[in-house]
Each structure stands twice: as C-alpha cells, then as structure tokens.
Amino acid sequence: MKRTIPTRLAFLTGAVAAALALSGCGASEVVDSAAPAAAGSGDTQYPLTIENCGHEVVFEAAPQRVASLDQNATEILLSLGLADRIVGTASWTDPILPSLAAANEDVPRLADNAPTYEVLLGSDPDFVTASFGRHYRAEGGVVSRERLAETGIPSYLSPTDCEDGVSINGGGTRTRPLTLDALYQEIRELAAVFDVSDRGEELLADLEKRTEEALQDVDLNGATVAFWFADTKTPYVAGGFGAPSLLASLTGMENAFADVPDDWPATGWEAFVDAEPQILVLGDLQRDRFPGDRLDDKIAFLESDPLARTMKAVQNRCFLALHGAEMNPSIRYVEGLEKIQEWARDAGECVAR
C-alpha cells in the first residue's frame, strides 16, 4: 500500500506557518518552532539553547568560525550573509548557486566529499553544522557530536535529517513524509544562532514567493516518476518519504517507489523497469563518486543497456535533469520546482494516460 503524501495545499499552509515560528525568552532562550518570529538582528538572547535531534546545544555567543560539512548547509549560511564566518565546507555534489558564487569564493573547501576529523579540527571551528547525520557517526563518519562536545565545539544537524530524535541518514528510517517545515526550521534556527533573524525571514519570504510562482499552472496529472540519483550498477532511487517525493506531490506526479520508506534505497534494474515510471528524473551530479554520477553517463547507459532501453520513458526520452542538491532537502528545492515547471510545459507523451 502506498503511503499518503501531503497535498500541495497542506504543504504551503505548513510552510507559511513555519516561516512565522521563532521566539524565545528568559536567560537561556530556547528556539521554539511554535513561537512567533523574532524581529531581526540583535534579538537573540544568549545563552541560546536549541534542542536539536536529541541534543541540547548551548551557544554563549554567536559563533565566529563555523565549519559546514555539506553543500546544503553551506548554501544556507551563505544565503544568511555569513561567508566571513565560514572556515571550511565539504561534501559538494554541484556547482555553487550563481547568486552565491561571489560570497563563496574565499570559503575554504576542506574536501569535495567528507573531510577527516583532523582536517576538520585544522580549520579551528567554534561550531560545526551538517545536513546529513552520517558525518556524525562514531564509526565511518567525520566525528561524533559527543566528541565535538567534549572539545567544547557545539554541533548542529539539519532537522530535515531527523525524526523523533534519530538521524535518518545516520541509520534511522522515516515513518512520515518530509515537509518543508523542517528546512524552514533549520533556516530559522541558524539565523537565531548567528543573531541574523531578519536575514532568515527575508530568505524564507523569498523561498515562499518563488515556490508559489513555480507551482502556478503545474499539474502533471498523476504521471509516475522515478528519481535516479546515482550509480548504474545498483541505482539509488528516491523512496516515498523524502524530498523528491515532496517535489513530485507538489507538481502532480506520483513517485513510482512511494511505498519504500528509505530516502535513497539501492534497487536493481529489474525492479526499476517493472515500476514503469513515465518520467525519469536524472541526477545531474558534478562529481565522479559512483559510475553514472553525471547526466550524460546516465543517459548513455539508459539508451544502451538492453533492459533499461525497453522502458517507454527511455524511448520517448522523458528525461528531466535536476542537480543533486535540488533533490535534497535544501534551499535548492525551489530551483527543482522551477525546472519541473519549465519541463512540464512540453511534457506531451511523457504524461499521457
């Protein structure tokens, strides 16, 4: 049985509500997602305490040297005007947003993928943030949050990767669909941490406006879609509760793998073909970590593989390219919606029933 995905109206209502939710009081201010918005810079009261995915994080003052372990987190910091505070960034799948390119020029790249613990500490951070909990694994990650705390460095994990205090990417499994509320919460909380709440509200307002515009006159009539992120051998596809399913539901598509709870399960080509997606969203990744990371390699594989090329979606070239960050729960989701809107204007046979 396929799980229910939030409707477009429910999504937008939740997003609007989330954009208004920031306040605190008392000597140790706690960011409460149900509270009214702060007015702007200078409103954060320190010490600031944030409950973050099972961890209580205390900030005595605004961080001056933040290390970001993911592109998603880095682009939020840059969008908040915090380039001068970023001492290192890592784990990039795509080029920087053009609007952030100038601000990003002097930000040190610790690693294209995950840095080592030694490299991270070498940047001398007083705060570490990440989009994905895999970085905080004691084994196989960069460093555990507990170890950072022992050295006096507070850490933060995006709420988009947390459900009931457990990191999804760090080993958990979603039980309910992701909404933009979690991303908006991340923006509000980071803005509060750095005492730039006015900038956070401006960013949220821009995202809301662009989201509404990108959804105008877009309805792909329940066409089935498969999101292929990477790997030609065992393709990583989007499951039913993550960010791609949110893009699909907002634009009138149905995820062909909606009954799979994992964010990016690895599947076989037999299962992929059997799902019979009408539309193939292909990850246009600017990296070479897995075979088929790049868009051209994906298309070449689909059109040459004896099994994959039997799909009607391949024969009709029903391909929609999105950058990796646009399929992750990041501020780039809105670029994903805008690309879907543009593509849908000439969808033709790809959405015919």
- What digits encode the pLDDT tens for the residues 33-74? 333 333 346 789 999 999 999 999 999 999 999 999 999 999
Cα 286 to Cα 284: distance, rounded to the nearest angstrom: 7
Are residue 101 and residue 146 in the same domain, yes or no? Answer: yes
**Residue 123 covered by a domain:** yes
**Domain presence at residue 42:** yes
| d(C-alpha 28, C-alpha 49), whole Å | 6
Q: Are residues 284 and 140 in the same domain?
A: no
State the total domains in the chain: 2
Residue 2 lies in a domain: no
The verdict on residue 1 lying in a domain is no
Looking at the fold, whether 202 and 242 belong to one and the same domain comes out as no
CATH number, domain of 107, equals 3.40.50.1980
Q: Which among 213, 246, 267 is the end of a domain?
A: 213
Answer yes or no: do 235 and 337 share one domain.
yes
Distance of CA 165 to the CA centre of its chain: 18
Do 77 and 89 reside in the same domain of the chain? yes
pLDDT at 192: 97
pTM metric for this prediction:
0.86
Looking at the fold, whether 204 and 260 belong to one and the same domain comes out as no
Range of the domain at 311: 216-351
In a domain, 283, yes or no: yes
Q: 243 and 126 in one domain? A: no
pLDDT of residue 42: 74
Give the HSE-up count for residue 301: Cα atoms under 13 Å, Cβ half-sphere: 17
180 vs 243: CA distance, rounded Å: 9
**185 shares its domain with 267:** no
- With respect to residue 342, please indicate whether it lies within any of the assigned structural domains: yes
The answer to whether position 288 is within a domain reads yes
What pLDDT is recorded for position 352?
79
Are the beta carbons of 52 and 156 closer than 8 angstroms? yes
Residue 353, pLDDT score: 67
Please check whether residues 322 and 233 belong to one and the same domain.
yes
- Domain end position, chosen among 159, 192, 213: 213
270 and 167 assigned to the same domain: no
Q: Which of these three, 193, 213, 233, is where a domain ends?
A: 213
242 belongs to a structural domain? yes
Extract long-range pairs of 1-4: CB within 8 Å, 24+ residues apart.
Answer: 1/259, 2/240, 2/258, 2/259, 3/177, 3/240, 3/241, 3/258, 3/259, 3/261, 4/177
Whether 16 and 154 share a structural domain: yes
Same domain, 184 and 237: no
The rounded distance, in Å, linking the Cα atoms of 283 and 293 is 7
- Which distant-in-sequence residues (6+ apart) come within 8 Å of 129 by Cβ? 66, 67, 68, 69, 73, 77, 155, 156, 157, 158, 190
Q: Give average pLDDT by consecutive 10-residue segment, the chain, 353 residues.
A: 34 40 36 38 89 97 97 97 97 92 96 95 98 94 96 97 95 94 97 97 97 94 96 96 96 96 95 97 90 94 97 97 94 97 91 78
